[in-house]
Structure 1
Amino acid sequence: MEMKKFLPVALSLALVLGITESLDFHGKDLESEESLWDLYERWRSHHTVSTSLDEKHKRFNVFKENVIHVHKTNKMDKPYKLKLNKFADMTNHEFRSVYAGSKVKRHKMFCGTTPRGNGSFMYEKVDEVPSSVDWRKKGAVTAVKDQGQCGSCWAFSTIVAVEGINYIKTNKLVSLSEQELVDCDTTENQGCNGGLMEYAFEFIKKKGGVTTESTYPYQAEAGTCDVEKVNKPVVSIDGYEKVPENDEDALLKAAANQPISVAIDAGGSDFQFYSEGVFTGKCGTELDHGVAIVGYGTTLDGTKYWVVRNSWGPEWGEKGYIRMQRGISDKEGLCGIAMEASFPIKNSSTNPSGTRTRSSPKDEL
């Protein structure tokens, strides 16, 4: 009997309205308590944060520690930078609890047999891959989304991969519904309380497809499954496969051919405030967050990286993305990125409507 593993619940501590850019600050902002308060007030206004007076003073002390951490880290010779983002008044413990609070390796429930996909790896015999791939530039990736106050990272990770393979097979980019998965894929997955991408792929296959974002829009909370909307699938898949565990070479072969769903340990302080560059920060392998690999490359100085799409909105990181170092000595990959990777299979350009969309030769990689 297989044990069930879940990805995290993600709840916001501060009330953040709309999409905003990270707040810049300078060394002079750290020179006194007064200047730090001024910076804090600017940050609160910038992110439209509302708290009680007592909570405000508590949050200021947390904010101050985070400012110091960001400032000190950015003065080091690291290939990445940090910024004050919407998580700046959260302790790392709070951040981990609400954005990375469910350990995949620890939080397990008996559930019967876990689906194993096709039990093979279709890219096993790929001999050569391009030096770099970016599925965003190829048109296979929709705009960055935000899971908000809901632990639905698993649904967002799943949908990125399905949107990607659908584009590759049909030459059409369609934004698909995470909310359908949150509301309706509830046999094993648990909506805003976490889930696994493999179960979601299995759900989409058995249901005959998934509907569009516009038909079943995201609500950032779990609701009752809307049967009428679910009965209007527009993109189908034929199954899924798992990438061999702890094998970045296999992961590279897969990512060269389509976007890949992966799980990572996203709970570190530097991950919390990541802004730009190739992330090489400290992280473990306590998988707690579902994301998607949408490309890879190498910097001018020879640092290899994965292009990873997150679901915390475009304000975080590099417009919603993070470049994570690849090819490290640990077999699990940085932050465990090579431990739990999977991808959907789509064999034709025909979708549930029965209309065969314009097929094009596979993009040159």
Structure 2
Amino acid sequence: MARALAMMLLMAIALTTTMSAASTMDITDKDLASEESLWAMYERWCENHSVEREIGDKTRRFNVFKENARMIHEFNQQDVPYKLSLNLFGDMTDEEVERTYGRCSNIRSNSRKRRHQGRLTQGSIIAREDLPAAVDWRMMGYDQRPSAVTNVKRQGTCGGCWAFAAIAAVEGINSIKTRNLTSLSVQQLLDCDKGNEGCRGGNAEGAFKYIIHHGGIETEAEYPYVGHEHGRCLVPKQDQNTVVTIDGYKQVPPNEVALMQAVAAQPVVVALDANSTAFRRYGGGVFVGPCGTDLNHEMTVVGYGTTNEQDSKKRMDYWIIKNSLGPEWGENGYIRIARDVNSQAEDGLCGILIYASYPVKFKRKGVNDTMKIV
């Protein structure tokens, strides 16, 4: 058991290191030395991100890009446990990012009273000691199961993060219960879940309610994502051919140990404050802020771990979180956010502990719940 855990930790470390290296476009002093070198870097960025700009707009975009590049390079010289990156927002101002990719969750951090206090008790400290040291549902073989996480998806300019987060959680529990990882339809939620507001925002708990009431959700292949709402639902009200069902959902008490317990069992949806420049332009490492607790974005926690520095004082605990901005953002679409942050123990960093939930699915003997009924 100890050897298996050690191997799992080594695999997790290797995975996150590789992901960080793969996602970051390095900026050197040479790149910033002249207009010509900056133009060359901008052209590389456009090619890497498959971006085409109209001739009349390209000069303005370049001016934004070079200011972002200088800001990011200056930030990355600091002794901070994470780096910024010229990611998909490389030639956009903060105002443009806010306007185009702003709030996609309709949760407000002060919209409801807490069900429980977030402070850790002696019992929860003991519970923490019984938890795995590291969890990563992306890994084949974690907990002797197949992966419970599909590829990172890309929401584009549709404010549907709530739907992506909910679908990732349902994909996770379905894989855990059936040992069959199936990519499910975000588009069905955007078009058919009238309790949420499609590309204008929503929340994952509403999505879970829709899936329960409707009797399931289609696959991505059957109902693919188009990046906007169709304007009408393309599945019947009671579709007998739905692929994956859930039986309910639960809310996670707002404390760190409760979230760790939930994540050790399955991927979990969380709401966060993702409005800061640092969050949007995150490129890798353990994010430590700045951020507040305005819950404007929903994502899916797929694991947790600790960095592997030799100096124990420099080790950092973190959450592994799947975003929906495509693999060009962060660590191939993921972010590691610091956990066990004493100064924000009640809310967690960026409000991660305030509003977490996960779908419930019972395993039915003899039923393959991932095969479409013909």
Q: TM-score of the superposition, structure 2-length normalised?
A: 0.79
Match of 1:169 in 2: 177
- Alpha-carbon shift at residue 105 of structure 1 (Å): 5.7
How much has 1:205 moved relative to structure 2? 0.6
Cα displacement (A) at 1:357? 6.0
Name whichever structure is richer in helix by fraction: 2
Alpha-carbon displacement from aligned partner over 1:121-150 (angstroms, at most 9, x marks no partner)? xxx989321111111113111111111221
Alpha carbons of structure 1 residues 79 and 33: separation in structure 2 relative to 1, 3 Å? same
CA contact (8 A) 1:104 1:286 kept: no
Percent of aligned pairs with the same amino acid: 49
Counterpart position of 2:18 = none
Give the root-mean-square deviation of aligned CA atoms: 2.6
Measure how far apart 1:57 and its partner are: 2.4
1:261 is matched with 269
The match for 2:364 is 349
Shift of residue 46 of structure 1? 3.3
Q: Is the 8 A contact 1:23 1:46 kept in 2?
A: no
Instruction: Check 1:277–1:63 CA distance in 2 against 1; reply closer, same or farther (3 A cut).
Output: same
Q: 1:309 to 1:25 in 2, by over 3 A?
A: same
- How big is the shift at 1:40? 2.2
The answer to whether the 8 Å contact 1:170/1:349 transfers is no
Distance 1:48 1:141 in 2: 26
Q: Is the 8 A contact 1:152 1:193 kept in 2?
A: yes
- Say yes or no: does 1:306 pair with 2:319: yes
CA contact (8 A) 1:22 1:86 kept: no
Distance 1:230 1:299, change over 3 A: farther
Counterpart check, 1:318 vs 2:331:
yes
1:104/1:225 CA distance change after superposition, 3 Å = closer
Q: Is the Cα contact below 8 Å between 1:103 and 1:286 reproduced in 2?
A: no
C-alpha separation between the residues in 2 aligned to 1:332 and 1:197? 19
Separation in 1, partners of 2:246, 2:178: 12
CA positional deviation for 1:288: 1.2
Shift of 1:298: 0.8
Partner of 2:19: none
- The answer as to 2:152 corresponding to 1:144 is yes
Alpha-carbon distance, 1:39 to partner: 2.2
Amino acid at match of 1:83: S
Structure 1 residue 273 corresponds to structure 2 residue 281: yes
2:308 alignment partner AA? L
Distance 2:110 2:61 in 1: 33
The structure-2 alpha-carbon separation of the partners of 1:156 and 1:105, relative to structure 1 and needing over 3 Å to count, comes to closer
Scaled by the length of structure 1, the TM-score of the pair is: 0.81
User: 1:135 is matched by which residue type in structure 2?
Assistant: W
Tell me the secondary structure at the aligned position of residue 256 of structure 1: helix
Over 3 Å counting, the alpha-carbon distance change for 1:105 and 1:182 in structure 2 is closer
Match of 1:335 among 350, 356, 359: 350
Matched, 1:206 2:213: yes
**1:166, 1:235 within 8 Å by CA — same for their partners in 2?**
yes
**In the aligned structure 2, how far is the partner of 1:106 from the partner of 1:90?**
27
Question: For residue 359 of structure 2, what is the amino acid of its counterpart?
Answer: P
Is the 8 Å Cα contact of residues 159 and 178 (structure 1) preserved in structure 2?
A: yes
CA drift of 1:54 comes to 4.0
Determine if contact 1:37/1:60 at 8 Å carries over to the other structure: yes
Q: Give the 3-state SS of the residue equivalent to 2:200 in structure 1.
A: coil
The match for 1:297 is: 305
Check whether the contact 1:254–1:260 (CA below 8 A) recurs between aligned residues: yes
- Tell me, yes or no, if structure 1 residue 195 matches structure 2 residue 208: no
Asked whether the 8 Å contact 2:266–2:302 carries over to 1, the reply is yes
**Stretches of structure 2 lacking an aligned partner (at least 5 in a row):** 1-21, 116-122, 310-314
Q: Deviations over 1:171-230 (max 9, x none)?
A: 2111111111011002x2011111100000011011111111111111111012112597
- Equivalent pair of 1:153/1:291 in contact (CA under 8 Å): yes
Q: Which moves more between the two structures, 160-169 or 228-237?
A: 228-237
**Does the CA-based 8 Å contact 1:210-1:230 persist in structure 2?**
no
Q: For residues 37 and 174 of structure 1, what CA distance do their matches in structure 2 show?
A: 42
Q: Distance in 2 between matches of 1:47 and 1:321?
A: 17
Aligned equivalents of 1:134, 1:196: Cα separation in 2:
24
Measured in 2, the distance between the counterparts of 1:94 and 1:304 equals 33
Kindly indicate whether the alpha-carbon contact (under 8 Å) linking 2:245 and 2:369 is maintained by their aligned counterparts in 1: no
* 3-state SS in 2 of match to 1:98: helix
Take 2:55 and 2:222, find their aligned partners in 1: how far apart are those partners?
A: 42
Q: Secondary structure at the match of 2:199?
A: coil
Contact 1:211 1:229 in 2 (8 A): no
Checking the alignment, whether the CA contact within 8 Å between 2:307 and 2:317 is kept in structure 1 is yes
Paired residues of 1:95 and 1:267 also in contact (CA < 8 A): no
Matched position secondary structure for 1:255: helix
Show the counterpart of 1:222.
229
1:284 Cα offset (Å): 1.1
Q: Distance in 2 between matches of 1:304 and 1:32?
A: 40
Determine which of 206, 228, 244 is the counterpart of 1:235.
244
Kept in 1, the 8 Å contact 2:104–2:162? The answer is: no
Greater mean deviation of Cα atoms: 40-49 or 132-141 = 40-49
